[in-house]
Amino acid sequence: MTIDGVAASGKSSVASGVARALGIPYVSSGLLYRAATQLGREAGVRLGDAAALLTHLRARPLRLEALPEGNRVWQGERDLTDELHSSQVDAGVSVVAALPEVRAWVDDQLRALPAPFVAEGRDMGTNVFPQARAKFYLTASARVRAERRSQERPEDVDAVEAALIERDRRDAGQSAPAPDAHVIDTGPLTLEGVIETILQVLPT
Ligand code: ADP
Ligand code: CDP
């Protein structure tokens, strides 16, 4: 099954809760885009330069570890995960994610993972796993999402909201609900409420 949605709509927290209830892993596609961005930053590569980015990504491959309580990204023995949720990565990731070569690199890794799992991101239900047995798309107002995300970033809620709106704008080309997705506004719900809603509509 797939859970897509706009930035900070609750995708990873909800995917983790649903996956734990089902006893299967979840897979965070955004973490791979974030890791590609962070490695590009470290290497001093221009983030729009697909060829240079791919050269780095192929020279030292990344591995997504799909733990139920939270995904991690490794490069050899190095765990990159804690560096991937900075405001700097937030600001660059949509440029990297717009590159078709990087999207193909992410999609290949996701499609190689052993099923079943819950896939979360922007285009899991539309592009990567169009045959998924159930699809969800999470939304919430920019203000609600900024209030949640500002608990996890040093910037104030107005700055976080402006950054989220800008990222949604840049991601719009690759983020839309699949025609057969259940759209859930998480604004009025608790995290547990969203997880419960999804579990109730899942086919048995
Ligand atoms: P995303 O993966 O879409 O960026 P996260 O899973 O990181 O979103 O969620 C952002 C934050 O919002 C988390 O701290 C999460 O616990 C919190 N949150 C609060 N209320 C809700 C809710 N009703 N639904 C989803 N997430 C919520
Ligand atoms: O958690 P949040 O919504 O803030 O971001 P994320 O899911 O970690 O995704 C980070 C970025 O990766 C997004 O802003 C998109 O640019 C990109 N992304 C994408 O293009 N396609 C996906 N399937 C997942 C993420």
Q: Residue 135 is part of a domain; what is its CATH number?
A: 3.40.50.300
198 alpha carbon, closest ligand? 1
Q: What percent of the chain has pLDDT over 70?
A: 100
Is the separation of the CB atoms in 45 and 56 below 8 Å? yes
List pLDDT tens digits, range 17-30. 999 999 999 999 99
* Res 152 pLDDT > 90: no
Which pLDDT score, from 0 to 100, does residue 2 have?
Answer: 97
User: How confident is the model at residue 30, as a pLDDT?
Assistant: 96
- Integer Cα distance of 94 and 162 in angstroms: 15
- pLDDT given for residue 173 in this prediction: 84
Ligand 2, pocket residues at CB < 6 Å: 7-8, 11, 29-31, 33-34, 93-94, 97, 121-124, 167, 171, 174
Residue 124 has what pLDDT?
Answer: 97
Question: In sequence order, which ranges of the chain are alpha helices (DSSP H)?
Answer: 11-22, 29-43, 50-59, 87-97, 100-111, 142-149, 157-171, 191-201
Domain containing 142 equals: 2-201
**Looking at the CA of 193, which ligand is closest?**
1
Q: Quote the pLDDT of residue 78.
A: 95
Q: Using the mean position of ligand 2's atoms as its centre, give its distance from the Cα of residue 189 in Å.
A: 22
Max Cα distance, the chain (Å): 49
Report the pLDDT averaged over residues 101-113.
95
Total domains in the chain come to 1
Supply the mean pLDDT for the chain.
Answer: 94
What pLDDT is attached to residue 174? Answer: 81
Mean pLDDT of 126-141: 97
Please name which ligand lies nearest the alpha carbon of 148: 1
Among 13, 26, 29, which residue has the most ligand 2 atoms within 8 Å of its CB, making it the best to mutate? 29
Confidence of residue 203 (pLDDT cuts 50, 70, 90): confident
Ligand 2 centre to CA of 46 (Å) is 19
